[in-house]
Amino acid sequence: MTERLLVDDPEVALDGSTLTVERVAGLAGAPIVVLPTVRALELTLQSWETAVGIAARQPVYGRTTGVGGNRDTSVVDGAEQDLRLLRSHATGSGPALPDHIVRAAMIIRINQILNGGSGMHPDIVGALVDSVASSQLPIVHARGAIGTGDLSAFSEIALGLMGESARTDGSVHTAWSPHQGDALPLISTNAMTVAIAGNTSVDVADWLRHCLVVSVLSVIATRSSAEPFAAQVQAARKHPGQAEVAARIRELLTPHLVTAVRVQDSFGFRALPQILGATWQALQRLGTTLSVEMNSSSENPLVSVEDDKVFHNGNFHGMPIALAIDEAKLALASAALLSQCRLANLSDPSVTGLRAFLADGPAGSSGTMLLEYTTSAAIAEIRSSAAPGSLGHTVISRGTEDHASFASQAATQLADILVQSRLVLACELISAIRALRQQNRVLDPATELGAYVQRAQKVLDARTEDRPLSADLAAAVTFLAQTP
């Protein structure tokens, strides 16, 4: 499993075609200087000139007409219609999105515009670049999109750039004014949804890396067999994710003595490569889909410089994104369920050779008993969020928009599942560390697994008498939120 990419470049070139999920996640955490390539800026200018020329000779949706149910209404007051469109569509709700998500969305949108299909005046690129390089980001509400373009989010970004709403530092100043026809192409994008899903997918990859290590600790603590991870087993089925996960488990286990006490173990151990491998592959497919979206023209209408035409289309529709996120949600849910299964084994004396619930002290002590309740509550939340967002349906704008992907909701659900999955894995981590301590099993800190245990033990309370475990859970969750 590849390591997470960390980006610390002082300047980053964008060309409209080579942005990646990992790149955006690395860039979005702080102000960053983005430099569009000369060729991409030239293409953006040509796209604007082409759009203006076409709109002078034929109707163009959103440039010479209204939008949505107003598609047949001619517009005669130029840029005033663009201002009205942005003001009316800047209608979000819920909490404000964090800066790193807004910055990520703006970076993605810059890259998409540089792809050359928007028909926007290139001065929007400069305004977005300047904002990304500062701590003065527009305030964007988390709710409002339904997977057919992040209309409200980018309208709020537009108003921030226009000086009509405050930015995150409280300042209000004008950095951009729309030219005629700029409004619709700016907001005809799923860049905010892609930013949320992309950032979450990078964090899910970190969770999976932690999950692999914690599961191997549980293998040792439960005296489970290493046979399910053998290369011969993976070769018999040939799923690449399964083979990659099993190879990683073998790598972690190799320096340590593992003595199995059962002929065969529960699915929590025996099916580790199959389930985590499938999860890893689903996450990779999501990353591929999001990377395609970051480097595409999702505007309607699409401006073709080469053909001197506009094409009215549905590239803004988020179904490919929604389906990829939904798959990742279900995969992550299954991986979290498997962690709950291993926790049950860690509580079983016949599996660990220790007392029930890893208790210590007088007979009847409860030990880690309530961790099972915690995981059950978290799994219930996961189950609710794992319901496919893409099953949603709506008919709006006088029937002209009669389908929606609800990719935005799916992205939020994925983030919610990750929060609960960290809690589930925290319960397993606490139990695995406690079991190893009670077995007096010390893993050599010179090994990767031993070093991980050492880091975890520094943040987890070593006391084993009955006591509240809330602080342990909070510490473990924080530990699991870090890159392993």
Which of the four pLDDT bands, split at 50, 70 and 90, describes residue 9?
low
pLDDT at residue 308 tops 80: yes
Which of the four pLDDT bands, split at 50, 70 and 90, describes residue 147?
confident
DSSP letter, residue 311 = E
pLDDT at residue 192 tops 90: yes
| Per-residue pLDDT, 394 | 83
* Residue 430 structure tokens: 């606490």
* Cα gap 379→421, rounded to integer Å: 8
Between residues 116 and 402, the one the model is more confident about: 116
pLDDT at residue 4 tops 50: no
Burial of 200-210, coded b for 16+ CB within 10 Å and e otherwise, reads bbbbbbbbbbb
215 in Cβ contact with 208 (< 8 Å): no
| Per-residue pLDDT, 398 | 76
Looking at every residue in the chain, the average pLDDT score rounds to 94
| Per-residue pLDDT, 90 | 94
pLDDT at residue 337 tops 90: yes
Length of the chain: 484
| Per-residue pLDDT, 351 | 97
**HEC per residue, 252-308:** HHCCCCCCCCCCCCCHHHHCHHHHHHHHHHHHHHHHHHHHHHHCCCCCCCEEECCCC
Which of the four pLDDT bands, split at 50, 70 and 90, describes residue 10?
low
| Per-residue pLDDT, 74 | 80
Would you call 475 helix, strand, or coil by DSSP? helix
Pick the closest to residue 41 from 133, 129, 146 (CA basis). 129
Average pLDDT value for residue range 400-409 = 85
Instruction: Give the model confidence (pLDDT) of 271-291 as tens digits.
Output: 999 999 999 999 999 999 999
* Residue 397 structure tokens: 């704008």
* Cα gap 382→386, rounded to integer Å: 6
Average pLDDT value for residue range 419-440 = 98
CB atoms within 10 A of CB 480: 23
CB atoms within 10 A of CB 126: 15
Residues 6 or more apart in contact with residue 80 via CB below 8 angstroms: none
Pick the closest to residue 422 from 199, 203, 248, 246 (CA basis). 203
Based on the number of CB atoms within 10 Å of its own CB, is 6 exposed (0-12), middle (13-18) or buried (19 or more)? Answer: exposed
Average pLDDT value for residue range 342-356 = 97
Domains of the chain, with CATH numbers? 11-189 (1.10.275.10), 199-480 (1.20.200.10)
pLDDT at residue 142 tops 50: yes
| Per-residue pLDDT, 116 | 95
* Cα gap 103→108, rounded to integer Å: 9
* Cα gap 449→219, rounded to integer Å: 12
- Longest Cα–Cα distance of the chain, Å, equals 88
pLDDT at residue 350 tops 60: yes
| Per-residue pLDDT, 470 | 97
Pick the closest to residue 375 from 424, 341, 428 (CA basis). 424
* Residue 92 structure tokens: 């979000």
Average pLDDT value for residue range 397-416 = 87
pTM above 0.85, yes or no: yes
| Per-residue pLDDT, 3 | 40
Would you call 154 helix, strand, or coil by DSSP? helix
pLDDT at residue 69 tops 90: no
pLDDT > 90: percent of the chain:
87
